[in-house]
């Protein structure tokens, strides 16, 4: 398997799905729609929809029910970045090498674009119910009901992991941690909710929609938690060692905002060791499933050990 070739194929698929689900830029509200689409189409690794797709495939998923959820998770991730860049939060003007949404459209439209993406994400995810009828219309009511139950569970996961018991909760703790000393437990809480939660949602939803048993969904959540933590620690490392030219966004932003990070608490050497430990633990879990997904395993390693 040529990983880069396979990754490129998946990126092409994800970009096509995103463009298909994004709203048309028409009507009196078209400015906010333009800002929403600008934010989503600004680029990025598309990590979350890719992890969702590969988890879905690992458990035998083959139909199109996954696609609206792939679009939805990227919309939610993007909205969080749009709001994170606002003057009231990190006050960054560049993201992925382009002007941030509030810098391009104004602060008010940046807020509304984020709000729009969050709401539109759930509107998009709910279209999966229609796909169940289309895919299973000839099979009977029991198959349709089973599909409905999987979608309802996926929506429950998406809402929780994106909300106050997930990403928003982590963002809250992160903001309140600025300008003060915090302990290991609070930093771990921030990483688990702020970063891991959406990665957990991505992989769990993929497994749920493919019909994976509950015990396997729980194992996927554990692996995704470790992936998310390693990803965030690597992000902290890159914030110190990277450059604007490579990363496409400001460096030392955590220092500028007086936010505690893994690197400031433990140093670069320990941070790098813990990235390696967490990634190995995640891989060990992924390799226990009956049908291994080798691309997924390579993807996890490439993202955790990325340089940008």
pLDDT at 170: 95
Please give the backbone phi and psi of residue 27, each rounded to the nearest 5 degrees, phi first.
90, 170
1.10.510.10, 1.10.600.10, 1.10.3720.10, 3.40.710.10: which CATH number matches 3-304? 1.10.600.10
Note the pLDDT of residue 53: 98
pLDDT at 96: 80
Q: Which residues on neighbouring strands pair with residue 99, listed in sequence order?
A: 94
Q: Which residue has the higher pLDDT, 255 or 190?
A: 190
Report the alpha-carbon distance of residue 144 to residue 141 in Å, rounded. Answer: 5
Task: Say what the pLDDT of residue 144 is.
Answer: 81
166-191 mean pLDDT: 91
Higher pLDDT, 1 or 294: 294
- What was the pLDDT predicted at 255? 53
Integer CA distances (angstroms), 188 to 91, 183, 226, in order: 24, 9, 11
- The answer to whether residues 205 and 52 touch, using CB atoms and an 8 Å cutoff, is yes
Q: How many angstroms separate the Cα of 258 from the Cα of each of 5, 170, 190, 300?
A: 40, 17, 15, 30
Residue extents of the structural domains in the chain: 3-304
Instruction: Report the C-alpha gap between 262 and 234 in whole angstroms.
Output: 9
pLDDT of 246 > 50? The answer is no
pLDDT computed for residue 95 by the predictor: 86
Quick one: what percent of the chain has pLDDT higher than 70? 92
**Mean pLDDT score of the chain:** 91
73-77, 95-99, 297-301: which is most confident: 73-77
**How do residues 79-120 score in pLDDT, each as one tens digit?**
999 999 999 988 899 888 889 999 999 999 999 999 999 999
Lowest pLDDT segment from 37-41, 182-186, 225-229, 243-247: 243-247
Q: What is the mean pLDDT of residues 204-217?
A: 97
Q: Provide mean pLDDT across the span 244-264.
A: 61
Tokens linked to 46: 């598309």
Strand, coil or helix: 99: strand
Quick one: three-class SS letters along 42-53?
CCCCCHHHHHHH
Among 40-49, 51-60, 205-214, 216-225, the least confident range: 40-49
Task: Give mean pLDDT, residues 227-248.
Answer: 78
For the chain, percent of residues with pLDDT exceeding 90: 73
Exposure string of 197-211, with b = 16+ CB inside 10 Å and e = fewer, is: bbbbbbbbbbbbbbe
Predicted local confidence at residue 143, as pLDDT: 81
β-pair partners for 95: 98
Is 216 buried (19+), middle (13-18) or exposed (0-12) by CB count in 10 A?
A: buried
Between CA 65 and CA 130 the distance in angstroms is 9
How confident is the model over 135-177, as pLDDT tens digits?
Answer: 665 666 778 888 899 999 999 999 999 999 999 999 999 999 8
pLDDT surpasses 60 at 73: yes
pTM of the model: 0.91
């Amino acid at each position: 398997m040529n990983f880069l070739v396979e990754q490129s194929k998946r990126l092409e698929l994800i970009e096509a799905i995103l463009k298909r689900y994004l709203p048309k830029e028409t009507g009196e509200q078209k400015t906010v729609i333009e800002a929403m689409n600008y934010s989503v189409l600004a680029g990025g690794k598309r990590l979350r929809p890719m992890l969702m797709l590969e988890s879905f495939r690992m458990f035998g998923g083959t139909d199109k029910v996954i696609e609206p959820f792939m679009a939805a998770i990227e919309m939610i991730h993007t909205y969080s970045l749009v709001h994170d860049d606002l003057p009231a939060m990190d006050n960054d003007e560049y993201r992925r090498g382009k002007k941030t949404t509030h810098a391009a459209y104004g602060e008010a439209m940046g807020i509304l674009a984020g709000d729009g993406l969050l709401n539109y994400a759930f509107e998009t995810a709910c279209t999966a119910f229609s796909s169940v009828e289309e895919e299973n219309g000839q099979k009977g009511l029991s198959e349709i009901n089973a599909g409905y139950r999987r979608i309802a569970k996926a929506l429950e996961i998406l809402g929780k992991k994106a909300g106050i018991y997930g990403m928003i909760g982590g963002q809250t703790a992160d903001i309140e941690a600025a300008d003060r000393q915090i302990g290991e437990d609070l930093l771990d809480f921030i990483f688990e909710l702020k970063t891991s939660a959406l990665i957990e949602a991505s992989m769990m939803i993929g497994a749920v929609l493919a019909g994976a048993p509950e015990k396997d969904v729980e194992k996927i959540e554990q692996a995704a938690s470790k992936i998310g933590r390693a990803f965030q620690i690597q992000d902290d490392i890159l914030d110190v060692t990277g450059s604007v030219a490579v990363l496409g966004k400001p460096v030392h932003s955590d220092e500028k905002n007086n936010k505690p990070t893994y690197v400031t608490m433990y140093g670069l050497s320990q941070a790098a060791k813990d990235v390696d430990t967490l990634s190995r633990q995640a891989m060990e879990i992924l390799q226990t499933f009956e049908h291994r997904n080798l691309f997924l395993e390579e993807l996890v390693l490439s993202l955790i050990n990325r340089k940008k």
